[in-house]
Amino acid sequence: MTASRIAAAFELAAGERRSAFIGYLTAGDPAAGGTLALARSLDRAGADVLELGVPFSDPIADGPVLQRSAERSLAAGTNLPAVWRLARAIRRESATPLVLFSYLNPLLRRGLERSAAEAKAAGFDAVLVTDLPPEEAGEIQPLLRSAFLDTVFLVSPTSSVERMRSAARLSSGFLYVVSRAGTTGARDFLPPTLPATIVRARRARSGGRLPIAVGFGISTPAAALAAGRLADGVVVGSALVAAAETGGRAAFETLSRRLAAACRRATPPRTGGRP
């Protein structure tokens, strides 16, 4: 495979000695047009990567903010074909890399091979299946990669050494480090164990150059700056969705710009392999 848009985004950030800013949106919340407008705001703010979430009726990894977002999206009739249409609309306006953020069930219901092909055709660059552990990805990851999609896996503070190695081996694009145990949601501070978790994740790459991104609980520019000094990328989801929920597009774009600026000020360690 040729280098992906995601690899290029991390390479650009590394060359500029900053951390990549990865923003999350729930597709179809509050409606397709609303998501497209928020994607434009992220683009203007300088986001390096956009995660586009597929709404699901049983989002076990999500906290209250993203649960409400999924409920609004499902009520608006969002399904996978609607997500594909939205991705194509974003891709017509922007070259920002797109990550499909989904639970496994919606992809299985449509058919994994069909979902992978349609995601790629719609303009997605990678897939992150929230509830797919590396131990159960033996047949699924090659199928996604054969559709020329990067595959992103999650590791957490409680992941064993072997699970981290498996996740790193199966990941392309980046390895997603969950900052804390539990569900998504804004927090006031980063856990003190995060530096050690990221060190373990870097070691799990076995000398590789796979970028490390950290997410779950990052809600403020100060937290993004601190996380960006540890990792190659910073993922913000709940805080952005909450800003749009309570303050509309203006509040969302203001927070996006502040988060992007914080990531630009962050200088991740150059040891341990950068992209």
Mean pLDDT by 10 residues, the chain (275 residues): 82 96 96 93 97 91 88 95 97 96 96 97 97 94 96 94 95 91 55 91 86 93 95 96 94 97 92 41
Q: How far apart are CA 17 and CA 148, in angstroms?
A: 28
Q: How far apart are CA 219 and CA 112, in angstroms?
A: 33
What is the set of active-site residues? 51, 62
Residue 107 confidence (pLDDT): 97
Q: How far apart are CA 27 and CA 68, in angstroms?
A: 13
274 within a domain of the structure (yes/no): no
Q: How far apart are CA 22 and CA 48, in angstroms?
A: 6
Q: How far apart are CA 127 and CA 121, in angstroms?
A: 13
270 within a domain of the structure (yes/no): no
Residue 273 confidence (pLDDT): 41
Angle at the Cα of 11 from the Cα atoms of 264 and 144, rounded to 5 degrees: 115
The CATH number linked to 123 is 3.20.20.70
Neighbours of 263 (CB within 10 A): 26
275 within a domain of the structure (yes/no): no
Residue 208 confidence (pLDDT): 73
Q: pTM for this structure?
A: 0.93
Q: What is the SS3 string spanning 94-151?
A: CCCCEEEEECHHHHHHHCHHHHHHHHHHHCCCEEEECCCCHHHCCCHHHHHHHCCCEE
Neighbours of 160 (CB within 10 A): 10
Residue 49 confidence (pLDDT): 98
Residue 58 confidence (pLDDT): 85
- Order of strands, edge to edge, in the sheet holding 212-215? 150-152, 126-129, 98-102, 49-53, 20-26, 233-236, 212-215, 175-178, 154-155
Contacts with 194 (C-beta within 8 Å, 6 or more apart), sequence order:
157, 179, 180, 214, 227, 230
143 within a domain of the structure (yes/no): yes
Residue 145 confidence (pLDDT): 96
Residue 62 confidence (pLDDT): 80
272 within a domain of the structure (yes/no): no
- How many domains does one find in the chain? 1
> Could you tell me the two tokens for 268?
């991740």
Residue 28 confidence (pLDDT): 96
273 within a domain of the structure (yes/no): no
> Could you tell me the two tokens for 127?
């897939």
48 within a domain of the structure (yes/no): yes
Residue 115 confidence (pLDDT): 98
Domain with 239, as residue range(s), is 5-182+190-265
Comparing CA positions, the residue from 22, 27, 79 lying closest to residue 52 is 27
